[in-house]
Chains A and B, each alone.
Chain A
Amino acid sequence: MNTASVGPARLVCSRALGWLSRARWGFALPEGVTAAQIPVQALKSVAELGLTMSLVDREAVAGAKDAQAAGQLAEFAWGQLDGGSLLYRRQLDDPASSFPMEVYASFVRAGYRHRPLAALCAHLVGLRVARVRELAPHDQLAVVAAARQLGLPAPVDPLVLVERTWLGGQPEPWMLDAAAAYALTHTVFHLTDFGADPGGLPQELQEYLHLWMPVWVDVVTETKAWDLLAELLIVDACLTTPQTYPQAWEHLAQAQYPDGMLPHGTTRAPRDPEKAFRNHYHPTLVAVIAGTLAVSRSVGARV
């Protein structure tokens, strides 16, 4: 395994964690409103923060300072969710939604628990409706992955679902657009539990990705679509044999702002901190996951 990407991956990840720590006010949920009144986008950002920090915690490759920052961010995110009670109330308000369970699963990975919500999730996964949700296949895989994280049976066979995803169809590689690319990355994330189980991705899809990922990484790097590039680098780290992309990592490191924020793409970040946060928190979180997994896989390869 080529370890040349480890240096820039660690650097990008550490700087991104620094920015997230300083910008955590941006994740704060509105106060004085009911759980149902909180905008989904705001809740989603907290969920993504929790997911990211759960992976930093799981991989345990961050330095002491970064690990402490990640722990504090996870604690902050869980606090924003009122220790899970906010998710519980959202689930009570909207029994058909799988969103609270998906969010909760990330926090369970990091060791947090909310027993009433866990009981609700177990009940909902067992319902017939869990088998027939009219979601995109990769979104349905997210539900399956959440159930797995909670120790619940998969409501739908993931191998049946994967055949219906963009990736599962092994399409002509030049037909990849942004929507397909994000669907592909999430298919891989959910099947492999963000790299914890690379074998969860069927062998023929591993081979497909080995063939075409270099092309997509090259083109996405050229177009400076940093958010998508970081997601593709996570995909690479989820494979049984990562290919590693040192040059892409170098480009990502160069694109990162001195304060640690990773821009979404070529658009210059707005000066207004709130707008800058809204536009660029996601790639910065993705950079943390990508960097964490790249370092972790290289450590694993050396052992």
Chain B
Amino acid sequence: MNASDAARPPGSVAAAVDVLAGAVAQAVSGAGRAFRLGEAVGGWADPVVGLGAVRVLGADALAPFLFTGRPPSASDVEVVRAALRVFPAPHREDPGDARVWRCRDWALGEVLAHLGVSEPGSNQAAALNSGGEGGSAGESAWPVWSAAVSRLSMLALPAVGGPVREQVRRRRRDTWRGLARAMLRHDHLSAARLARWLALDAAVSSESLLGAALSHLELFTAPPPRVRLEIALARRLWEGG
């Protein structure tokens, strides 16, 4: 996306997601002025697409607040609440998709709580999560398991714990295998997501490979905004976010 694209108000949720992901990636990387979620999505002609973008990015939309320690303003929080009202979690027949949504909402609740914002309902989701959400793919072979945890990268934030994070700590070799597999298959989104998981608890076992993997993704992939966001989050975590 170039500068003129970014300046043009997005006409669809997908385009809005790209714009917001770009803004969050920039903020997480420490570039630009202080991030304000309300400002990032508030100036668009159709406010609904902005809310949709917030819903899609979920907890990641609040990542700049986690990393900078600057709390969200009331209007930032209101944007999140409005997004949850306008776009409740969809019903998904596919258990994998349903699980992703449950985890997405749980992560959002955890991040809001960490930022000092309490949301009704988040406890219930947390109970669901701790009740075994991490277990459904927990014992699968590494290709299946790593693909599943890659889809749950929104849980790879400093404020979020839980069983999936514990699994990744325990199955670090498998996470690495998933990352290498994704790189070889040019599946850059999955690679970036798994790099993010590895970066989250890099102190557990510091691998120099991770820096090489991140640089490779940054320099070789010309990533679209959502991949760029995953890479930026991984880089921030790796460098001591």
Q: Footprint of B on A, CB under 8 Å?
A: 172-174, 176, 211-212, 214-216, 218-219, 222
Contact = CB atoms under 8 A, between A and B. Distances in A.
B170 to A, nearest CB: 16
Contacts of A176: 184
A216 B180 CA distance: 9
The secondary structure that dominates the B interface is: helix
A222 B216 CA distance: 23
Given A172-B212, A174-B183, 16 more contacts: A172-B213, A172-B216, A173-B183, A174-B179, A174-B213, A174-B216, A211-B173, A211-B176, A212-B177, A212-B180, A214-B142, A215-B177, A215-B181, A215-B184, A219-B181, A222-B185
Interface in B4-57: none
Interface of B: 142-143, 173, 176-177, 179-181, 183-185, 209, 212-213, 216
Contacts of B184: 173-174, 176, 215-216, 219
B177 A211 contact: yes
A222 B173 CA distance: 21
A15 to B, nearest CB: 28
Contact of B209 (A172, A215, A219, A222): A172
A222 B213 CA distance: 22
A173 B176 CA distance: 10
Nearest to B181: A215
Contacts of A212: 177, 180
B233 to A, nearest CB: 20
A218 B216 contact: no
Contacts of A174: 179-180, 183-184, 213, 216
B26 to A, nearest CB: 27
Contacts of B185: 219, 222
A218 B181 contact: yes
Contacts of B179: 174
B149 to A, nearest CB: 16
Contacts of B183: 173-174
Contacts of B177: 211-212, 214-215
Of the candidates B176, B180, B185, B216, the one having the most CB atoms from chain A within 10 angstroms of its own CB is B180
Nearest to B174: A214
11 contacts: A172-B209, A172-B216, A173-B184, A174-B183, A174-B216, A176-B184, A211-B176, A212-B180, A214-B177, A216-B184, A222-B185
Nearest to A247: B141
Nearest to B173: A211
Given A174-B183, A211-B173, A212-B180, A218 B143 contact: yes
A222 B212 CA distance: 25
B219 to A, nearest CB: 13
Kindly list the 6 A-B residue pairs having the minimum CB-CB distance in the complex, ordered from nearest: A174-B183, A173-B180, A215-B180, A219-B184, A215-B181, A215-B177
Contacts of A219: 181, 184-185
Contacts of B213: 172, 174
Nearest to A219: B184
A218 B181 CA distance: 8
A215 B213 CA distance: 16
A198 to B, nearest CB: 21
Nearest to A174: B183
